[in-house]
Structure formats: structure tokens, C-alpha cells
Structure 1
Amino acid sequence: MVASLNPNRTDLGKMDTESLWHAMVQHRPFSEKPPKCMKRGVGCHVTDAEGVEYLDGVSGLWCVNVGYGRQELADVAYEQMVELAYSPLTMSHEPGIRLAHKLLALLGYEGKVFFSTSGSEANETAFKIARQYHAQTAAAGSGPRYKVISRYRGYHGHTMGALSATAQAERKLKYEPLVPGFLHVSPPYAYRFGEGRSEAVYNAACLRELEQTILYEGAESVAAVIVEPIISGGGVIVPPEGYLRGVREICDRTGILLIYDEVVNGFGRTGRMFGHQHWGVQPDMICFAKGLTSGYMPLSATVVKQPVFEAFMGEPGSDSHFRHISTYGGTPVCTAVGLRNIEILEREGLPERAAEMGDYLLGRLQELLDHPNVGDVRGKGLLLGIELVKDKESKTPLEDAGMKAVLKQCMDHQVIIGRNTNTIPGFTNVLILCPPLVVTREQADHLADTLHKAISTLHARG
């Protein structure tokens, strides 16, 4: 049957349940109540098809950094579509050139930028680069360096290689066996594993585990270590001072490439343009997506330092070039939007705003630490997490029903917040806040007040 060209809301709900496969949710309840159909977004708010407005406390999927409804981003996309909608990067085009140049200028080093369409793809690209780099720089007779080390609770994507690097058991369930050669070590998670040790002592223990893992595996077999400067979807875990410096030093001693996954951390989210800038430690490769275009267009980037790129230089006809391509990676429209998005971030001082409003919102949320079910409140900039527990002494994670109750209370009060769902079995107990960087103090107060009310119901429920 052919659907109406102008279906009403009832028709849309029926069409939705009949045809659309939604991400990360069980569909059985949709037969009675279809998912919310969003119609419009302005600033920090989205409005559904019923006309109900919600404060978006998670920026869509961590990505709408400059807020919704930016006319100039629509305009630049339209203008570029009219002029040149598509051109593959086997050749070149001006928006791609200018955006690549801008990213390197912001990072402050020489290198090259490879464009893709998603964070998963950016990380897959980095893994392939790491393996080929070592294959082309290894001493004669040495074995392949192919292993990649990541941290438990870290998320690096949903494609098979990126999922193999992701150390969240629920994400991998029923998809294994995955790609061989991916290993995991403990994250720097002081709230659960600090055990009363000083930050310096705990940090040393985390780094020692990484170094021992490399030793046991054989450094000559390890191609790369990948880390999110701040673990995001795994529960907003901020590393101790000295951690990234220590990881960098270990990689330098063992000839391993260091990759930063800044898919969530990047483009002002943490109060700096890039998350790693809080610690002043540079990687060999860095992966971006999400805030690169604030979700207005699908675009990601894998940036490599010049010494890494030079290993791919060779004579025409040789196989030393990077044999990898993304059909829609770095199209003229996407890169034009990315360039204007960065212009907005700089022009409006949004990384600095994220630092200011993040400190304010963190302070409001830390008031919740007096509540018996709030174990920890943490984060940087507008990337914040609230870990809920049954009681503070045991730190037993709050059960699923309690977590769902808090999210529902917030939604009932027209506030959307996040949670680390489908990550670690039994430990999906962290509420996540990452509103658009244009959030006002009034809106931050509304977020905090709504969370105070929602979490207070936990105690009332016993």
C-alpha cells in the first residue's frame, strides 16, 4: 500500500512501527506507543510532533555542540550543494582543503587529515594506518605489529574493528568472535578502584598495568594504544593528572603509536577546543566526529602527524600508499559545514563558555552528593556524569529500575538526559549530561533542578 504524501501524526506512528528499525531499543513496546517523533530544534530545545518542547541535555548523541537551528550552517550547505555537491577525495576540493588546514592549525602541528563519515570509521581508519605504518617501518625479519590496546569501559565504535577496540561487554554480546589482536587494560577510574590511594600512587598503578601488558604481549607485536582523553559513554571517567603523560612516555619507549579518540571530547565539549589540551600531551593520531559539524552533516576525521604520514610515501606503482577510501568522507558539503561550525565555535567563544557553564553546572550537581544514592559527580566542561549507587559504603550500582525511574522523571518534566546503557553488565548506573555549548545559566539551573527532583524520588521509593 502506498503511504500518503502528507501523513498525519497517527499515520506516522503506524508507519514508524511498520517500517523503521530504531537504534539501541527493544521494539515490542512500540506496538502500543510509538517512539517520540521530533519535529523541530532551536538552541538547546527540541520539539516533538505533538508540540511538546524538551530541553536536550545530551546534545542529540553528544554532538549538537553549537545548538539546533543554525541558519548559517543550512545556508553554507545549500550554497555548497548548488556549487559542487560531491567530489571524491581521490581528487580535491576547496572546502576539504580549507578544513584540513584549519584542523592542523588548531592542533598546532604538521600532518595530514583523512576524512570519513563517522567516529567508528575514523577509528577504523586509524587502526589500518597503525598496522600499515609498522609494516612499512619495521626492521627486516621482525614480526608484524598488529595489536591494539584500549581500556575497559572505553567506547570506540560499532563497526567490527572499532567494536573490537570497544571494551564494553554488552556492546559485543552476540557479535563475537570479533577482530583478533585487540587487548584491554583497566581504566583510570579512581572512584571505584582508587582504594584510598593518593592520585599519584593510583596513577602509577594504572600505568604499570599498561606497561606490564605490553611487556607480556611483546612490545614488538603492539601497533597502537587508543584512549579517549575522558572516557565518555563508558561513564564520564576523567583521568588523574599525569596519566596521559605516562601513557605517552610508555608508547615512546616501546615504539607504539598513541591514538586519541576525541569523537566526543572534541570541539569545545570539555572546555577546551580538544579534550587532550587539558593535559598538554599530543598523540600520533587523533580521531574526530560529532562536534566537528555539530551533527549538521555526517563527517569525521583521522589526523596523523607528519612523521607517520611519511611512512606512506613511495614511488608511483608501489603499495606503500594508504589503500583506503570513504565514498562520502569529506564531501564538499560536509567539509564546508564543518569549517563554518568551527568558525561559530571560535567566534562565539563556545569552548570557553563550556568551561564556565560546566563549572557552574558541576557545582549545582555536586549538591546532590548529600543524597544517599549519589556516589560520585564528575566531569570537565559540559561533559558530566552522576554515578548512582544503592548505598555509598558498598558502592553497589543502582539497579536498572531506579535508573529508568530517574530518566522517566526527567522526561516527564521535559528534560532529556543520558545514561551509559548497553555498556558494562551491572554497571550501567551513570547519568550523563552534555547539553549544547550554548546552554544558558537558566537552562543549566533547570537541568540541575529537574535532576534534584528526579533523584529525590529514589529516597522516597526506598
Structure 2
Amino acid sequence: MEIGPELLERWDKEHFWHPFTQMKVYREEENIIFERGEGVYLWDIHGKRYIDAISSLWCNVHGHNHPKLNNAIMRQLCRVAHTTTLGSSNVPAVLLAKKLTEIAPEGLTKVFYSEDGAEAVEIALKMAYHYWRNRGEERKVFITLSEAYHGDTIGAVSVGGIDLFHGTYRDLLFETIRLPSPYLYCKKEFGELSQTCLADLVMKLQELLRARRDVVALVLESGIQAAAGMLPYPKGFLKEVRELTKKEGVLLILDEVATGFGRTGSMFYCEQEGVTPDFMCLGKGITGGYLPLAATLTTDEVYEAFLGEFGEAKHFYHGHTYTGNNLASAVALANLQVFEEENTLENLKPKIDLLTERLKEFWELEHVGDVRQLGFMAGIELVKDREKGEPFPYGERTGFKVARKCWEKGVFLRPLGDVMVLMMPLVIGEEDMNYVLDTLKGAIAEIG
């Protein structure tokens, strides 16, 4: 029996509790239910076409319904869909682990799988803490940034710093120390992301590391605080932080969930600053946006701290039912093959240049307070009064109103509050890019 649009829309509102969504508002509005996709386009149940301008929450890389990714899943499905990796293995998970260590920064040689970016971070936190325990050291404090976002599990929330998302759960969380958000601090204190500000931030971190000898790790998003509204770091910040953590004997956990797999113009942002962290967390684009998979990469040094006789109980007690799932690993392998075969990163360079040029136009708009970009990631901040730095009231949902105007013209966006996020599939053509940018610019211009 075919289920019609009217029934689907009713059941959606009656039974489906959506993430990061005020369901009272959702139930009162008309919303999109997607039915199929092809390339950078999505179609809803009424047959309307949209450009997927946020890559289905930042994860689609090569477009929807890509034949090579589809075939990889179908080939694996005809073999076996899932087998446990608790004490056993499977072919695609083995091959993917080998491939990830080949493309990762040198020194990241071990791969622990999970199902999403938050768990990849959770694993890194537990591994880092457990590493020091296995070495006979009692360390318990993590350093993170204000405005940080690493996911929504309890450990990931503990190292988060967005009060709107995380404040409710504060009593459940473990101890952390927060440094200021580099972008916001530099803008406030120095007016720009200057080398002076960079030196000041590094000095603050150095003082902290020398005052506290119980620090497990420093936890950072790589290159940009994406969920905070696309807040980039000063160039060189990551490199300076890595050198300092090495010098002071503190682990570095780098969250590349949003930035990995081409989003910043290189496979991983940390490559651009020549950084190898102790842990690198991957998710989102790892399967090209097809199936839930994530990975935590680490070093031989960390791995070897968990080796011992069985009775010593030094091994890592963590794992989920679908860890290293066969189907997800198979499509992730195909995703990396497509990167190579279609020269995805090379073809992305002129699109980043085009985005950079087109974003300059948004400064002409009255209600644009800031425009921020790192590679193919961008955020356009909407404000009520740019001169006074006055934001729109939170309850007015200005960003969502702008997004809905874009939906009407066939561009699918989801803002972060009043920051309009652009995170287009890496394969989008220039004509579609220009349409997205023209549509968004027009929608912002209509703000009263």
C-alpha cells in the first residue's frame, strides 16, 4: 500500500520527535519530508526539488545516489550486512582502517570505529583518560574552549561550551577548564585574528598547563568552531597549540568531524598546519553521507599503553553493537576511492575561490553583521543593527525565516540560530553555487 503525502505529514507530527527541534513550533508549521535525491538535489513528497545547500547536515560529499557508493553497499549487502567486531573482524573494516592510516597525518596508525562524531569524541576522551591510568598517572581534567561543540553524549557535552545546548546538563558533567573562543576573543580584544592575539592565546594556554599538572588532554575542533556559528581560529593557532602540548606533556584531541573529508580544501584541516594530534576524531563525510560511521585515530604510543596480559585488565572497555559495521565500512572505502578517481579536492579549489568572492557581496546587506569562511565552509551572521552589534531577539527565529524563504525558491538550508550556514556538497557546480548564493542574498535582503 502506498502512503500518501497527507498521511505521512500527519504521522510525522504525531510520532516523530526531531533532534534540535521545538516540536510545538514544528507541529504548527508546514515542513519538508524528503523522498529521494540525485546529485546535489533533493525532492520532497510533493515532487518539489531543492539544492541541498547544507549537505544533509554537513555530511554529503559526492552528491546523493552516487552510483559507485550505491554499488559498494549493494555488493557488500550481497555478502553480509553486519558482523560483530568484538574479538573478530570483517574485510571492509580492515581495508578501511588501513586506508585511513594512509591518508591521515603521519603517526596516526590505529583506528577505533564508532557510529557518529559524538561517539568518536567520547572514545578519544575515555582513551586519553585511560591512557594515563594505564601509565600509573592520575589525571582527570580536560581543557576545552568556550563555544566548543563536540556532540551530545555526556562526555562530549562535558567538553562543550555552548550554554544554549549544554547548560541544562551541567550537573551531569565532569570537570573541564575553558579557554576563550579564539575568534570571539581576538575580535573583542584585538579587533582581528592577528598574530598578537595568537601569541596572547598561546601564552594563556602555557600558563594554564604549567599551573595544572593533572590535565588529561586539550580538546579542540580543527580550524573552526563550526556549530558555534562558523568561528575560525587565527592561522597558526593549531600548530602553536600542538607544539605547546607536546612540550608540556599533554595529549591533543582534535575533532575533525565537521572539517574532515575535504570541507576546508584539504582532506583534513590539520594538514594545512602540519599538525599530527594524539587523537583525531572523524565522522560526517567519512561515508560520503550514506551511513552512520565514525572513527577515532590514534598513535602507537597510546595503543601500546593498553597492551598487557588478559588478567591485567588494561584493555579498552568500549564498543557498540554496530562498531565497524560491514556496510558502512564498504561505502566509506568507496567514498575515498571517489575522492581519488574524481579529483574531488583539486576540483574544489576554484569553487572555494568563487565562494570567497561571492561572500564579499553579503557585506552590502543591512542585516549582515559578520561573514566567516574556512575553505568550503561559511557562516553569515544576521543582526538587527550592525553598527550597535545588536542581535535579533532569539525567539523571533530570524535565521529560520530566512531559510524558509530559501526553501520557497528551492534551496534547502538550516541555520545555526541567526547564522546562515553554507556547507554545500563538494561536487556542486558553479551554476548551482551561484543560485544558492543569489537566493540566500535575496532572502536576507527581505528582512524587515
8 Å Cα contact 1:270/1:355 also seen in 2: no
Query: Is residue 365 from structure 1 mapped to residue 359 from structure 2 by the alignment?
Result: yes
Distance verdict in 2 for CA 1:171–1:108, change over 3 Å: closer
Within the candidate set 8, 13, 19, 1:17 is matched to 13
Alignment of 1:159-308 (within 5 A): 159-189=153-183, 192-196=187-191, 199-216=194-211, 218=212, 220-229=213-222, 230-308=224-302
1:71, distance to aligned residue in structure 2 (A): 2.3
- Matched residue type, 2:221: E
Alignment-mate amino acid for residue 443 of structure 2:
A
Unaligned runs of 5+ in 1: 422-428
Residues 327-359 of structure 1, C-alpha deviation per residue, up to 9 Å, x if partnerless?
112111111110001111221122233332122
In the TM superposition, what is the alpha-carbon distance from 1:364 to its structure 2 partner?
0.5
Q: Which residue of 2 aligns with 1:353?
A: 347
- CA root-mean-square deviation: 1.8
- What whole-Å deviation, never above 9, does each CA across 1:240-288 have from its counterpart, x for those lacking one? 1221111112211221110110101000111101111121111111000
**SS of residue in 2 equivalent to 1:418:** coil
Shift of 1:69: 1.0
Please tell me the residue identity of whatever aligns with 1:276.
Answer: C
Partner of 1:104: 101
8 Å CA contact 1:269, 1:351 repeated in 2 = no
Q: Distance in 2 between matches of 1:6 and 1:371?
A: 46
CA distance in 1 between counterparts of 2:203 and 2:389 reads: 25
Say if 1:196 and 1:17 are closer, same or farther in 2 by CA, change over 3 A: closer
Distance 1:108 1:152, change over 3 A: closer
Separation (CA, whole Å) in 1 of partners of 2:131 and 2:193: 38
CA contact (8 A) 1:17 1:34 kept: no
Aligned partner of residue 190 in structure 2, secondary structure? coil
Q: Is this contact kept in 2: 1:378–1:385, CA < 8 A?
A: yes
Paired-residue identity, %: 34
- Is 1:66 paired with 2:62? yes
Alignment pair present for 1:40 and 2:43: no
The alignment partner of 2:242 has SS state of helix
Partner of 1:434: 423
Contact map agreement 1:375 1:389 (CA 8 A) in 2: yes
**Is the 2:183–2:193 contact (alpha carbons within 8 Å) kept by the matching residues of 1?**
no
Indicate the SS of the match to 2:78: helix
1:123 aligns with 2:121: yes
Cα distance in 2 for partners of 1:108, 1:455 equals 40
| Matched residue SS, 1:343 | helix
Q: In structure 2, which of residues 420, 444, 447 is the aligned counterpart of residue 455 of structure 1? A: 444
User: Which region of structure 1 is more displaced relative to structure 2, 33-42 or 323-332?
Assistant: 33-42
> May I ask how many residue pairs the two structures share in their alignment?
442
Q: TM-score, normalised by structure 2?
A: 0.94
Q: Is the 8 A contact 1:263 1:290 kept in 2?
A: yes
Instruction: Give the TM-score of the pair, scaled to structure 1.
Output: 0.91
Contact kept, 8 Å, 1:161 with 1:178, in 2: the verdict is: no
Please report how far the alpha carbon of residue 108 of structure 1 lies from its aligned counterpart in structure 2 after TM superposition.
4.3
Which residue pairs with 2:338 in the alignment? 344
CA contact (8 A) 1:114 1:301 kept: yes
